[in-house]
Amino acid sequence: MLLIPAVDMKDGRAVRLKQGKADQQTVYDADPLHAAQRWFVPGVKRLHLVDLDGAFEGQPRNRTHTLRILAALSKNVEIEIGGGLRDASVVREFIAAGAARCILGTKVLEDRALLAELAKHHPGKISVGLDAKNGKIVTKGWVQTSDIIATELVRELASLPLGEVIYTDIDRDGMLQGPNLRQLEAMRKASAFPLIASGGVSTVENIRACRDLGCFGAIVGKALYDGALELSDALRAAGN
């Protein structure tokens, strides 16, 4: 299973939020590139890069930092990018710059035709980020809750040539309380694509549980930054 360190960007800095709330942030590095380089070690095969301002505002706001990170690291480690990717030209720019995956979230609900077009032209490079609360999809930087059930939505996408599905339980994100294993298992059974767990993964036991569920990867953020989880231990638990 892939162990995927996260780098979340807000106002040009590397931060972590609690439950996706913009007013509950911790700044970890003044330069997102430095934060990304911190996790560039043997065994780490992919980094998870998110533009939080982009997620809230609907278009990338940390584009310069994203391109700097891609230029510096993408030849040696896969980088998946999310946050405000709601325009085809931005997706194409990041893929051309070296992104291994571009993650669409809100746009999956708003414009299925665009998702299908991007997946067709970039097979395997477009992933879907499904962020949920009580199993229901939330959008626009986690501020709008829909009535759409995550497991039902992922079944509707089965015919598209997508990369992976990233499932985030927002009640667990940044809380160090462990992932929602029950919902992850339901998602794994519903998804035709490899599943990446996100939200609350904070111990080696959490990582092993995600691995044992059959997850393709697990994203870890706050626990690594706070030192609650050592990267070497996390990689061993994932089998890297």
Based on the residue annotation, tell me whether 29 is a catalytic residue of this protein. no
Query: Exactly one of 51, 53, 131, 169 is catalytic; which is it?
Result: 131
**End-to-end CA separation in angstroms for the chain:** 7
Angle at 115 between CA 112 and CA 121, to 5 degrees: 140
93 CB-near residues (< 8 Å, 6+ apart): none
148 CB-near residues (< 8 Å, 6+ apart): 109, 136, 137
DSSP string, 56-85: HHSS-S-HHHHHHHHHHHTTTSEEEEESS-
Look up residue 230 and give its DSSP letter: -
Based on the residue annotation, tell me whether 131 is a catalytic residue of this protein. yes
Query: Exactly one of 8, 51, 169, 173 is catalytic; which is it?
Result: 8
CA atoms within 13 A on the CB side of 44: 25
Catalytic residues: 8, 131
